[in-house]
Amino acid sequence: MKYRNFYLLSLLAVVLASVYPLYMGVVTMGSYLENGYIDAANYQKYIIPYTPICIALIASIALMPLIFKLFRRHTLPIISFIGTVLFFVSEFGFEQIKVIEGYEVMPLESWQLSLCMATPEVLRSIGEPIYAANNPAFKIHFYIIAIVIILAVLNVIYGFSKMLREQDFGKKRPLIAQAVSVVIFIGLCILACFTAFYRNGTINISTLSAILMSVFFIIFGITVGIYCGSIFYGKTKLLSKIIPAITASFTTLIMYIGELVLMGGVLFKYGNGFFFEPIEAIQFSAADIIIILLSGVITYIIMQLLNNPRK
C-alpha cells in the first residue's frame, strides 16, 4: 500500500508540475494545426525542451508498473531508455514547427536560440529577440539538461518505489540526496528561464549573475555525480566515490565547452582581475577551472558522507 500511494502521489506531483509546460504545448500545437505555423506574438517561451521533458516523464512514470512486471530488475535502464526516446521524439517534433515574425520564417529551435542569446536586458533595449542562425551547441545544452532531469527524476521515483515495495531501505540516503539535487537543479533551470541569471548582454557580468551561473554549473555536475553514485552505492571506493566525482567535473566541463562554442570562443567573465581572465593557452579562467573541480570535490564529499555515515 505504501508503494502504491507513493507511486500515485509521484505521478500526480509530476503531472501538476507539468501543467504549464503541457499548456504551452497544447496552445502551440493548436495554433500550428490551425495555421501551419506559429505567430511570434503567440510563441510560448521555452516550450522546448520543457514540454518534451514533461511528456517523457509523465509517460515513463505511467508505464513504470508495467515495465516492472515485464522486466523486474532491468526496470530502471529500460524506463530510462523509454523516457529518453520519448523526449527526443517529442523534441524533434516540436522543432519542426515554424515561427513567423513579419516576413521572417524560422524553425522553432532557432527562435528559441534567439531568446536564449538575448537576455532580458537586451530584450528590453531592442524590443524583440535577436535573430540568430541555428547553433548546434544551443541544442546540445538543452538536450544534456533535459536528459539529466529525466534520468534523475526517474531514478528517484523508481528507487523509492522499489525501496517501499521490497522494504529494503539500503539506498535511502543516496536517493534522498538525488531528490534534493534534482529539485534544486530544476529550480535553477526555471530561474534561468525567467531571468537568464540577470546577464546584461555583455561578456562582463554582475556579481549576482556570476554567483548564479557558478551555482548552476556546480549543481548540474553534482546532480549527475550523485546519479552515478546512487547506481554504484555501497560498492568500492573507485565506483562509489571517485567515479561519481570525476563524472560530476566532466559534466560541468562539457557544459562549459558547450557555452564556449555557443559564445563564439569566449566565456562570460565573472569579475575583474587575473583570477577571472582567460588563461593564455585556453579560454578558461582560474575561476572557471575551480568551478569545474569544485563540482567533483563536493560530489566526492557527498558520496563519502553517504557511504560512510557516522555511527
State pLDDT tens for residues 136-149. Answer: 556 777 888 999 99
Cell (9 digits) for 116: 536564449
pLDDT tens-place string over residues 165-200: 888 888 889 999 999 999 999 999 888 877 777 777
- For residues 154 and 26, membership in a common domain is answered with yes
- pLDDT-based confidence at residue 266 (cuts at 50, 70, 90): confident
> Does residue 207 carry a pLDDT above 90?
no
Report which DSSP code applies to 37. S
- Count CB atoms within 10 A of the CB of residue 211: 14
pLDDT of residue 121: 44
| pLDDT over 90 at 79, yes or no | yes
Distance (Å, whole) CA 156 – CA 217 = 21
User: CB–CB of 195/187 below 8 Å?
Assistant: no
In a domain, 271, yes or no: yes
The one-character DSSP state at 268 is -
The reply to whether 17 and 158 lie within a common domain is yes
Residues 268 and 131 in one domain: no
**Residue 89 in contact with residue 81, Cβ under 8 Å?**
no
- Cα→Cα distances 157→12, 181, 188, Å: 12, 14, 21
- Could you tell me if 237 and 121 lie in one domain? no
Q: Which three cell numbers stand for residue 124?
A: 528590453
Q: What is the pTM of this model?
A: 0.86
In a domain, 189, yes or no: no
Same structural domain, 231 and 311: yes
DSSP state of 169: -
Q: How many CB atoms lie within 10 A of CB 266?
A: 11
Query: Average pLDDT for residues 80-96, to the nearest whole number?
Result: 91
pLDDT at 19: 92
154 and 226 both lie in a single domain: no
Identify whether 19 is part of a domain.
yes
Say whether both 150 and 96 belong to one domain: yes
Distance of CA 156 to the CA centre of its chain: 15
Question: What is the dihedral sign for C-alpha 65, 225, 194, 102?
Answer: negative
**Looking at the structure, do residues 159 and 217 belong to the same domain, yes or no?**
no
Q: Are 204 and 132 in contact (CB under 8 A)?
A: no
Instruction: Give a yes or no: residue 99 inside a domain.
Output: yes
Question: What total number of domains does the chain contain?
Answer: 2
Same domain, 163 and 202: no
100 lies in a domain?
Answer: yes
Helix residue ranges, H only, 73-107: 75-95
Cβ-in-10-Å burial (0-12, 13-18, 19+) of 103 comes to: exposed
Alpha-carbon distance of 71 to 248, in angstroms, equals 30
Measured CA to CA, the distance from residue 203 to residue 192 in angstroms comes to: 17
Residues 152 and 4 in one domain: yes
Note whether residue 182 is domain-resident. no
Residue at 32 is within a domain: yes
Q: Which domain holds residue 272?
A: 195-311
Local structure of 111: helix, strand or coil: helix
Whether residue 282 is contained in a domain is answered as yes
3-state secondary structure of 232: coil
Q: Reply yes or no on whether the pLDDT at 88 is more than 70.
A: yes
Q: Are residues 215 and 73 in the same domain?
A: no
